[in-house]
Structure 1
């Protein structure tokens, strides 16, 4: 028997599907509030959280909600880019033909941002993911790069997202000028037990489920092992469904969850 049918699911909501079930936890709502504030004030924002806490999900949802005629969203992951790649990539994303020298790319980027703002009435929203990998050279340049009219105005929204050590880097004395420009800084802590329960129930509901899938103590075991991390909750729920089905259980038990936790640790 197929496990989705056994547990009354239209699809598995704990896997990355074409149909993502977005659960608006308290923390998710707080992140959206902070990002909206950043959008209205412009300038630099920081969003941090350890792996699997939901940074990328929150950012993706926020970026998708922005009106494309008012905002030009540019996303780059900094884990793989050299300094030169970063500037060339940013210039190209803004609509310019990248140059080979950094100084030329600097000017191209500033000119394109000014053109977007003045002519197209669009605000550039530049998202730099995995920014904990960002080098000192780029961090030093960012304040200068996004400095317009001798510092009197911010024309773009620049969001740096990454692991919590990003803040440790920014606390270094050399980055004081940039740190003074940061107007939003938020760290995702993860879900409380109560939020974790709601998260699982909402995921199931979003997949059309109306029956009991997990025993209470099975959910408790999942939440204890996942430690408030949404990605781990998804992984353990998925593994528990598979164990439950292969054991012919119509309701997933704590024993099945313990087996799933063991499988995930070994996998």
Structure 2
């Protein structure tokens, strides 16, 4: 069946389940709400948090929902989607996002990034929120750089919040002895599990409602078996 026939059959003007939904249109279930709440607490407390889950569990969706609720006059979000840039690339991104010119010398990038984060909070009144996606791919040097950034005023507190988002292997990595110092600084941990049958059915009917006010999907969906009927 072609996409056009599929859209016509179900009455869709566009295909559902896309990735470009506005945060207000995102489906919310129990695990999603808990992840959003923990991220919000992490931001409020200027803490270091870790959100893990399997591919497709909704980690990034939860982060989007949490950051969309932030007051942009009081927060600045720095999103790092690709850890493969290395330590220098990661710090370069943070410094640049805060409007400064990154140092040419790698050895001075960590203190420059730390100072930039502190200045954003102290001088501009905005709390930086550093989000590192695919964090299970961070190497040990990058993990250590994250720890060094959280050193502030003899560990009395950090001027920013940071959230590491990754697959379950991130939890295992953080248990390694070499990363013990970073692991001890983590204040929030949450594993986002997959949706159960009822939540999956709610997700399908919710997302199908956005392209059109569904014509047949409500009657074609069985909450018990999640089966879609061929005809109404």
Q: Is the shorter-chain TM-score for this pair beyond 0.5, marking a shared fold?
A: yes
Match of 1:220 in 2: 225
In 1, are the aligned partners of 2:129 and 2:160 still within 8 Å (CA)? yes
Map 1:65-144 to 2 at 5 A.
65-144=69-148
Q: As a proportion of its length, which structure holds more helix?
A: 1
3-state DSSP of counterpart to 2:85: coil
Give 2:27's match in structure 1, choosing from 1, 8, 23: 23
Q: Distance in 1 between matches of 2:64 and 2:205?
A: 22
Q: Distance in 1 between matches of 2:42 and 2:197?
A: 29
Q: Note the alpha carbon deviations across 1:176-218, whole angstroms, 9 max, x for none.
A: 1111110100011110111111111111223333433363459
Contact map agreement 1:87 1:102 (CA 8 A) in 2: no
- Residue 63 of structure 1 and its aligned partner are, at CA, apart by 1.6
More displaced 10-residue stretch of structure 1: 21-30 or 48-57: 21-30
Say if 1:146 and 1:154, in contact at 8 Å, map to a contact too: yes
CA RMSD for the aligned pairs? Answer: 2.2
Q: Deviations over 1:78-132 (max 9, x none)?
A: 3421222222222112221011222311221122112111111100000000000
- Taking the aligned partners of 2:142 and 2:86, their CA distance within structure 1 comes to 9
* TM-fit CA distance, 1:58: 1.2
Residue 43 of structure 1 pairs with residue 47 of structure 2: yes
Instruction: Give unmatched runs, 5+ long, in structure 2.
Output: none
TM-score, normalised relative to structure 2: 0.88
Instruction: Please tell me whether the aligned partners of residues 43 and 183 of structure 1 are also in contact (alpha carbons under 8 angstroms).
Output: yes
Counterpart of 2:14? 11
What is the CA distance between 1:19 and its match in structure 2?
A: 6.0
CA distance in 2, matches of 1:168, 1:40: 27
Aligned counterpart in structure 2 of residue 194 of structure 1, from 191, 194, 198 = 198
> Are 2:57 and 2:194, in contact at CA under 8 Å, matched by a contact in 1?
yes
Change (3 A) 1:36 1:218: closer
- Are the aligned partners of 2:134 and 2:167 in contact in 1 as well (CA < 8 Å)? yes
* TM-score computed with the length of structure 1 as normaliser: 0.78
* Corresponding residue pairs, total: 227
Tell me how far apart the structure 1 counterparts of residues 92 and 214 of structure 2 sit (CA, whole Å). 51
- Residue 84 of structure 2 aligns to a residue whose secondary structure is coil
Judge conservation of contact 1:7–1:250 (CA < 8 Å) in 2: no
Given that 1:75 and 1:128 are in contact with CA atoms closer than 8 Å, whether structure 2 keeps it comes out as yes
- CA 1:221–1:204: 2 relative to 1, 3 Å: closer
How big is each residue's C-alpha offset from its partner over 1:11-63, in whole Å with a ceiling of 9 and x where there is no partner?
Answer: 22223346674111111111111111111211210001111111111112222
